[in-house]
Structure 1
Amino acid sequence: MLQTQNLNQKELARRWGISHRTLERWRYAGKGPAYLKLGGRVLYRLADIAEFEESQLQRAVRISEAVARTGQSPRQLTVDPTRAPCPTVPLRRSLRAC
């Protein structure tokens, strides 16, 4: 009999390089991949993980295609980060242009 492989939240967090608390927040907010709750355990099926990853990839592809359709280039930095900050600007606002 073929078993479905599952990951718990800590395993999935390690896979994606995020905190397991982020996955908890996503569940509370109704975001993130579909999950199973069996007793007190939360499990993510590999098929649901792959589907969520694909949906996130497609969102990025759709955004880049939409930008290409408008004919505009992506936003550029307006401040040169190598330039010294203005002496009259407080330190916390040093990245703003003079």
Structure 2
Amino acid sequence: MHSSGASKRLESKEDRARQQEAELKIVEQARAESREEVAALEEMKQHARAAFISGAAATEEDFERYWPDLRNEMFRQRAHHGNGRAARG
């Protein structure tokens, strides 16, 4: 009878360890996705900056001031027209 209790405690520890491992994998996956999103946003910003700065009188300061509105408009356009990569994919 005593070994049954010890066995249940061991199973419980193993269950907790599996649960913690699963939670850690979820957190790591979320972090990786977040890093990918940050990198994609930075790439989008660099492309937008290059296009914006190519204008005759555009400055870096102008771009930084307008970037939040530009970003939001780009997101609206992407949502409205769909992501080209997903449509082709």
TM band (smaller chain): 0.3 to 0.5
CA radius of gyration, larger in = 2
Higher relative contact order (CA 8 A, sep 6+): 1
Structure with higher strand content:
1
Structure with higher helix content:
2
- TM-score of the pair, normalised by structure 1: 0.30
